[in-house]
Amino acid sequence: MSRVSTEPSNKPTAAHALLKRLREHGVDTVFGVVGREAASILFDEVEGIDFVLTRHEFTAGVAADVLARITGRPQACWATLGPGLTNLSTGIATSVLDRSPVIALAAQSESHDIFPNDTHQCLDLVSIVKPMTKYAVELQRPHEITDLVDSAVTAAMTEPVGPSFISLPVDLLGSAEGIDLDRPQPPALTPAKPTGAVADGWHTAAAKAVTMLRDAEHPVLVVGAAAIRSGAVPAIRALAERLNIPVITTYIAKGVLPHGHELNYGAVTGYMDGILGFPALETLFGPADLIVTLGYDYAEDLRPSMWERGGEKRTVRVSPTVNPVPRVYRPTLDVVTDVLAFVNHLDKATTGLSAKERHDITPLRERIAEFLSDPEQYEDGMRVHQVIDSMNTVMAETANAAEGTIVSDIGFFRHYGVLFARADQPFGFLTSAGCSSFGYGIPAAIGAQMARPGQPTFLIAGDGGFHSNSADLETIARLNLPIVTVVVNNDTNGLIELYQNLGHHRTHDPAVKFTGVDFVGLAEANGVEASRATSREELLAALRKGAELGRPYLIEVPVNYDFQPGGFGALSI
Ligand code: TP9
Ligand code: MG
């Protein structure tokens, strides 16, 4: 089989031009796993753009997603041909469903040898990723690489932001034919604001929104991540404070108001009534008569059915994109525009309006406080709310105001994180709302710690999700990222056991139970110091140690959930 020429040359190649253009667009990191295309690209061709080797391509995709999300710039991930790209595909799925401007790149067979499903390791890469990307293309002529990168970045940064993909035949990647490194710089992109007829007419709709807000007794702002991307967080806070309007967020928009802010009514999940044994959604939404959704995104899993309880409500949808889900959310008023522009407009247009009397959620707050302070020493393992309460305590001691990140993998514990984990800044709590692939935790913590090097990062993960992707513990150790990981271990895919209970009023162990893994030994084998904690006191001490260490640290905590067959009740969604 023909392979790429390995004759070294000093001429700039498509690989140089690719990295240079990515750098000019603000990309500073390429996460990935390299295959035989190493003959065409070393990743040291261009200053200011680093390669981070991961153990699995999924890790590369999610780390790029989170680094891009927090820095507000595109970031890149890399896979080799065939199985490299199929491994990366769940990372790409994460950045489309979670909305992050990731530039996914993969090597492809030589341009004269692309026979998908016949040539060694050759698959039709563009067709594989097309349904989950905003732009997907294969390089045909080396000198066009700069234009392809420009198109990929523009598509990725346009709302709804998401991944773009370029397939790179290895011979073209190593080719110097027609390569010109002196192309003019691209314009700087922030997530692109909407333009066009719908956006232009938004002032009329905004005037209606002002009237609806004036008439409302108990308005509530429901905020999604597009509001963060538009830079509207300070404006939303100012508006909410002036008019005394509560703010409720999706999982990933936690931190729009700081954790302890009196107008922060929290993030919601469909599991909350069951977890708290309390009618939480009714308390939060029942009295509301106007819901204003700012940057609402159905993919963030806050469903309209969650607010449709109690009295009749009117709804205003403010979003940079046209409504993709009218069947589940048909607002009274739809305003398609940039969230920041709308909030600024609303702020000016409501200058004379007196503050609202917000509805009281004291009973819910008391229930949460009582639940979290649970002093019981359970014989069969800690409870997850005790674990998160301990993480909050040490995060508050460790982080400066408006700093720190709590990352959550996917599992039942994640819903406790959504409800209780502290987040004092936007993206101060990270989980995958849209894609929710388990194994998200390690790569998301890597991305967060790289984006916020001076701040603490705590990760909570379950045994199931964590061990599905635990090889990248070695990446954390190699990069010496001071991430404090807490593995809540019940030797079970606990959330799935809950569903067995819900569906059958009984469980079936072979489908959800594991034999025990020694997570302390696993961490140490990967170069990460670790310990085990079985009580609040031990956990607090271990978290404090980890937070001060300046190196990665892992704490295994045996846990148990309290749901009995049939005991959790129906979900609230
Ligand atoms: N495969 C992938 C890639 N992602 C998901 N989300 C599933 C399967 C289905 N979810 S959430 C979960 C599964 C199997 C189990 C999580 O178990 P855990 O030990 O990490 O957490 P816990 O607290 O639920 O036991
Ligand atoms: Mg588990």
- Note whether 14-173 and 373-567 share their fold: yes
User: What is the per-residue pLDDT across 379-398, written as a single tens digit (0 to 9) for each?
Assistant: 999 999 999 999 999 999 99
Distance 35 CA to ligand 1 centre (A): 30
pTM for the model stands at 0.96
Q: How far apart are CA 571 and CA 565, in angstroms?
A: 14
Q: 315, exposed or middle or buried, with CB in 10 Å at 0-12, 13-18, 19+?
A: buried
The residues lining ligand 1, judged by C-beta closer than 6 Å to any ligand atom, are 410-413, 436-438, 462-465, 488, 490, 492-496
3-class state of residue 111 by DSSP = helix
Query: Which ligand 1 atom is the nearest neighbour of the CA of 437?
Result: 4
CATH topology of domain 14-173: Rossmann fold (3.40.50)
Q: 564 by DSSP, 3-state: which?
A: coil
Peptide bond into 142 cis (omega under 30): no
Q: Which ligand is nearest to the CA of 467?
A: 1
Q: Looking at the predicted structure, is the pLDDT value of residue 518 above 90? A: yes
Position 6 scores a pLDDT of 54
Q: Distance (Å, rounded) from C-alpha 482 to C-alpha 549?
A: 7
Copy the structure tokens of residue 562: 């309290």
For the cut 50, the answer to whether the pLDDT of residue 247 exceeds it is yes
Residue 165 to residue 422: CA distance in whole angstroms: 35
- The residue to mutate among 301, 412, 489, 557, having the most atoms of ligand 1 within 8 angstroms of its beta carbon, is 412
Would you state the CATH architecture of domain 373-567? 3-Layer(aba) Sandwich (3.40)
SS3 at position 476: helix
Neighbours of 312 (CB within 10 A): 6
Domain topology for 202-360: Rossmann fold (3.40.50)
Give the Å distance between the CA of 92 and the centre of ligand 1: 19
Range 225-229 average pLDDT? 98
Which amino acid belongs to residue 266? Answer: G
Task: Tell me what pLDDT residue 568 has.
Answer: 56
Q: Which ligand is nearest to the CA of 409?
A: 1
Q: What pLDDT score does 4 carry?
A: 53
β-strands 483-489, 553-558 pairing: parallel
Residue ranges of domains in the chain: 14-173, 202-360, 373-567
Tell me the CA–centroid distance for residue 464 and ligand 2, in Å: 5
Is pLDDT above 80 for 311? yes
State the closest ligand 1 atom to the C-alpha of 384, by its place in the atom list counted from 1. Answer: 23
Cβ-based neighbours of 531, under 8 Å, separated by 6 or more: 520, 542, 545, 554, 555, 556
Please state, in angstroms and rounded to a whole number, the distance separating the CA atoms of residues 69 and 271: 26
pLDDT surpassing 70 at residue 571:
no
Q: Residue 481 in contact with residue 550, Cβ under 8 Å? A: no
Name the one residue in this structure whose structure tokens are 């409501």.
Answer: 350
Mean pLDDT of 324-338: 95
Give residue 394 CA to ligand 1 midpoint distance, Å.
26
